[in-house]
Structure 1
Amino acid sequence: MPVKQSPQLRAALWYARRFHWHVFPIRPRDKAPLTAGGFYNATTDQAQIRHWWQQWPDANVGIACGASGLVVIDIDAKNGAGGLESWADLRQELGSDIDDTPTVETPTGGLHLYYAAIDRSIRNSTSQLANGIDVRGEGGYVVAPPSEHPEGGTYNWALNCGPHECELDPLPEGIAERLRGPQKLVLDSDSSNGSGDAIITTGQRNATLTSLAGTMRRRGMTCDAIVAALLAENSARCSPPLHDDEVTRIALSVARYDPVLDPEHLTDMGNSRRLVHLAKDDLRYVPQWGWLWWDGRRWARDTSGAAMRCARETVQAIRSEATRREDEAERAALEKWAKTSESLARIRAMVELAQSELEFVADVEQFDTDPMLLNCLNGTIDLRTGRLRPHSRADYITKLAPVEYVPDAAHPIWT
């Protein structure tokens, strides 16, 4: 019996095939990417998309805006953000037809309006367009239907406003002009604190705090330390300050990345360690069997090149790492090494060296040790209790019964 496709996988394949939108997997009921390269890994390749959702069947769907030629207007309605009111004012000023474009309804009452990017000059911003309205463009991404929201509920296309029902309009020029306006730091020379530090204004807060968080993470600071530092910086310099939960989200997003290796570790061994950071939860190497990968239900023999795909993702992550480097020499060295690492010889060397990494190495005797666990498509049954529980890497199961367990199913033959 073929494994069922999740609604998220069907949607991801549809977005990529029909609209050429670049998609990537996001953590279930979350907004954080699952791959180390995040939206830089986004693709329209159907095989890669299927591979991701085999690894993470419940993953949410992310769309990389810049690569997809999109600008998305994010109208926030929760906690009195005022986004809907601001949008009503913009409609009155710029015309009521500015929202005749594919539209997503968010579980918190907000809206995501999808537009075709006129060019690639529109980048992410927070409340620069208007109070309670964020923008996702070049360098950003959105969570797409039918993904699940962290607070419950799902993202849905508005009635008659799906991308197959409503023409994708170009970003209205009136909006584009506002977003292309100057974004600058205003020096608060008269500040009462006398520090002389630059005040971070609307439109720069997220980018500045993200850059600061990246610097701290590269220096090995813990997530808690980054959160504390960003909250202090937000309070002291951001005008107006971001909500604490938004600042914490920035810190958590950056802290997902392991502290980067020093520039001198741009070697095959360094790449092997990077592969560990990327795939230590999803790959195992058994000398007698070769590579195994976690397909979301079991540890399966790697007959489809999963280890090599993870190695390619590692190379993409090096490129992503380069963009987060502030030092020009370090950034140039990383970009050069990323290009070198694209060769088949370097990728093979990375995978071969990784076979001896302790995080990957496993013994045959670790697998299938509990005969009272029966692995099914929808979970693992503990035959001692009859309880169905979620699939778990820690069970080290390699077998899978190609059926779903239905506790209340009729069984007339056995009565």
Structure 2
Amino acid sequence: MTNQVTLIATAAMGLEALVRDEVIDLGYTDVTTDNGKVIFNSDISGIARCNLWLRTADRIKLLMKEFPAYTFDELFEQTKALPWEDWLPEDAFIHVVGKSHKSTLYSVPDCQSIVKKAIVSRLQDAYHVHTRLEESGTRYKIEVAIHKDRVTMTIDTTGVGLHKRGYRVSQGEAPLKETLAASLIKLTNWTPDQPFVDPFAGSGTIPIEAALIGQNIAPGFNREFSAEEWDVIPQSIWDRALEEAEDLANYDQPLDITGTDISHQAVEMATENAMEAGLADLITWKQMQVKDFKPKTDSGYLVGNPPYGERLSEKEEVESIYRSLGEIMKDYPQWSVYIMTSHPGFEKLYGKKASKKRKLFNGFIRTDYYQFFGKK
């Protein structure tokens, strides 16, 4: 097995540049960006480091190969030609998933079946097994993705998506993904020495992610990854990656982070989640209506994901919240305000045109991220 690998960090639409920058910040230089993914070369330690450190990526996949395929025979032979034994042991539990778009091989179940047969055949030859493989060992999730007759064959190294940080013990309805929350913060110019407020904190995801960023704590420090179970990656690689994360964390960095919400239950959930993340002393939580919010400093950053008012019964209340926030923040021109919402009339209700706005998706909901830059 070679020590050099090609990895794919998958990204939500519109966030590829953020993921690319994170990959480069980790020291990887051979980086290319495509729709929904960032591709880069690394040594094997990159599997551990990227799973631990990437805040805005969805998952990390090991690229086996890309190749064209127009028939099932081509798919079988080219899949079998890959060195699966370099990664999969004889008893590997092989779970093949797939997708196909604008391709001759359009039947995903058939493609999955062909790929599974090819991998099994390769492993039988490699391990000199003439009976059925037991598949009683570690689970390997292999994806065959076909787009315009070009196959991308990968092995998932992450397991449960990277948005599952491991600190969320409580959540409300439709919680914001941790990776998207981190992205909202990374799209600002906030630095840890400046006040940070989320007046729509919900279960606390945005303030918690801000605290992790502020103290440079690796977002994956509190969870496990599927590649940790792979025999071919020595435990020492994971140990070194965790040691690096511990060394780079700046636990002495003071932070001024506040999360507020109108719901007492939400504040309780946020407090529990912050405690689980080990950040209980770093974030101030308050039950408060938006109309009662008043910044304590002349400048700072406000980042929020307020209700969108998509239900007709909530629309009037939500629009009142937007107006209140705009009225408050017009008296604090040095504050930078960042709001994600799907409401098309947000700027008019807020009373100000955004310095910049960016299209983002919160799950399947298309939103705009309104950015109001504070005066220097």
Band of TM-score, shorter chain: under 0.3
TM-score scaled to structure 2, two decimals?
Answer: 0.27
TM-score scaled to structure 1, two decimals?
Answer: 0.25
Q: Which has the higher strand share?
A: 2
Greater relative contact order: 1 or 2 (C-alpha under 8 angstroms, separation 6 or more)?
Answer: 2
